[in-house]
Amino acid sequence: ASTRSYTPLKVVGDGSFGTVWLCDWHGTLPPNTPLSAMQCGAGAKREYAGKRLVAVKRMKKKWEGGWDECKKLKELESLRAIPYHPNIIPLYDFFLLPQTKELYFVFEPMEGNLYQLIKTRKGKPLAGGLVSSIFRQVVSGLYHIHASGYFHRDMKPENLLVTTTGLYDYRTLSPVAPPDAPLEKDVVVIVKLADFGLARETRSKPPYTEYVSTRWYRAPEVLLKSRDYSNPVDMWALGTIMAELVNLRPLFPGQGEIDQVARICELLGDPMDDYGLDGRGKPIGGGRWPRGVKMAKAVGFAFQKVRGSAMADIQS
C-alpha cells in the first residue's frame, strides 16, 4: 500500500487553482520513478542530497462530492490519459484527504519555468543552439499531447517548466556567421510542459469557455470570442513564446483584447489580401480570413487596414 508522508521544503508556485510545494517525499512512488534532474547528473544541487524531491500541488477548491467529483476534473483526466513523455511533467500520485476534502497531485519537480529563465537573462540573448533545443523539446511535448487526443489551451512561459543541467558550447546557428565563428557557451535546459488544468480532448464538443490562456499568448480566434477552436490555439501560443525567447520580451503585450488584436495586425497585417505578393510570391499582410472577419463583426469589431511589418521587424 502507498504511504504518503512528506516534508514541505518551500512554496514554488501559487495560482488561482492551487499551491505547489517542493517536498521531500518519504512515501512510496511508482516503480522505476527516476530521480529529478535537480538531484542527479550535472544539474544536481548539493542541498538536495539524500532527499527524494517531488512537487506537491494542493488544489484550492474543496471537493465536497468526494472522489466521484474529483474524477471529473479535466486536469486529472488528461494527466491520466496522456502517456508518459520526457517533455511532459509526469503525475506520480494523487489523493483526496477525506477530512479536509482537499485534492493533492504529486509531480516530478523542476527548478523553475521559462518565464523565470527569460527574466534571469537581464537582456543577454540565448545562444541559438539553446533556443533550438527548447523549441525541439516544446514541440515534441506538444505533438505528443495532440497525438494523444488533447490540446493544452494554456500555453505560456510560466507553464513550460525548466531545469538547467550545466553548460554547453553551442555552434552558432546564424546564417551569416563565418564557418570558424566562436562557439556560444550557454546553459543546458530540460523543458517539460505542465499545468493541464485547461486541457480538453480534441474530439470533445464545443463550445469551450472563451477565456483561455494569458491574453498575450491567445490566438486571434479566441480573442474574437470563438467557442469552437482546437489544437491550432496551442501552435499560435508556441510561436509567440518562441519569439519571446529570442527577443527576451513578449511579442504581443496587449493591454486588453481589442489592443491585443490591434498589436497582432500591426505586425502580421489585417486579414485581407489587398496588398499584393512579396518576393517569394506570398501574400503581403495577414492574408484572407473570412471566418475571422465574420467573428469580428459578430462582436462589433472592425479590422483596421494595416499592411503589417516585415518578419525581420520581430527582432528589431
Q: What is the pLDDT of residues 37-89, one digit of tens each?
A: 888 877 688 888 889 999 999 988 888 888 888 777 777 777 778 889 999 99
pLDDT at position 71 is 75
The 10 Å CB-count burial string (b at 16+, else e) for 175-195 is: eeeeeeeeebebbbbbbbbbb
Question: Based on the domain organization, do 93 and 155 belong to the same domain?
Answer: no
Cell numbers standing for residue 168: 554547453
Q: How many domains does the chain have?
A: 3
Q: Is 154 considered catalytic here? A: yes
Of 107, 122, 146, the domain-final residue: 107
Mean pLDDT, the chain, integer: 84
Question: Based on the domain organization, do 138 and 191 belong to the same domain?
Answer: yes
User: Which among 93, 154, 195, 234 is annotated as catalytic?
Assistant: 154
| 67 compared with 273, residue with greater pLDDT | 67
Give the number of residues written for the chain: 316
On the CB side of 248, CA atoms within 13 Å amount to 11
What is the largest distance, in Å, between two alpha-carbon atoms of the chain? 68
Please report which residue ranges of the chain form alpha helices under DSSP H.
66-70, 74-81, 114-120, 128-147, 220-223, 232-247, 257-268, 290-298
Question: Based on the domain organization, do 253 and 270 belong to the same domain?
Answer: no
Question: Based on the domain organization, do 277 and 253 belong to the same domain?
Answer: no
Domain assignment present for 183: yes
Question: Based on the domain organization, do 121 and 234 belong to the same domain?
Answer: yes
DSSP-derived pairing of the beta strands 18-25 and 53-62: antiparallel
The pTM for the full model equals 0.87
> Judging by beta carbons within 10 Å of its beta carbon (0-12, 13-18, 19+), is residue 287 exposed, middle or buried?
middle
Give which of 254, 258, 221, 257 is closest to 236, Cα–Cα. 221
Question: Based on the domain organization, do 205 and 143 belong to the same domain?
Answer: yes
Domain assignment present for 1: no
Binning the chain into helix, strand and coil, the percentages to the nearest 5 are 30, 20, 45
**Residue 54: CATH number of its domain:** 3.30.200.20
Which residues constitute the domain of residue 72?
Answer: 6-107
